[in-house]
């Protein structure tokens, strides 16, 4: 699915990337990000995912 379709209707800040990039996976763990995946920042109990951008 293209990133633009995932983001439609959401408030977001695009830091880097092509809105028409094909996305094959989503991860909230920066250690598990692979090519063509989307990293979602989440503020957790132990750390804040925004620190890993």
Q: What is the 3-state secondary structure (H, E, C) of the chain?
A: CEHHHHHCCCCCCCCCCCCCCECCEEECCHHHCCCCEEECCCECCCCEHHHHC
For position 25, what pLDDT does the model report? 94
15, pLDDT greater than 70: no
13, pLDDT greater than 80: no
Averaged pLDDT for residues 12-27: 85
For the whole model, what pTM was predicted? Answer: 0.66
Note whether 17 and 3 are within 8 A (CB).
yes
Q: Alpha-carbon distance 17 to 35, whole Å?
A: 12
- Chain centroid to Cα 13, Å, comes to 10
Compare 33 and 50 and report the one with higher pLDDT: 33
């Amino acid at each position: 699915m293209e990133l633009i379709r995932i983001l439609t209707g959401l408030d977001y800040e695009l830091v880097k990337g092509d809105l028409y990039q094909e996305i094959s996976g989503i991860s909230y763990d920066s250690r598990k990000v692979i090519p063509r995946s989307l990293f979602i920042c989440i503020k957790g109990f132990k750390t804040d995912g925004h620190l890993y951008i």
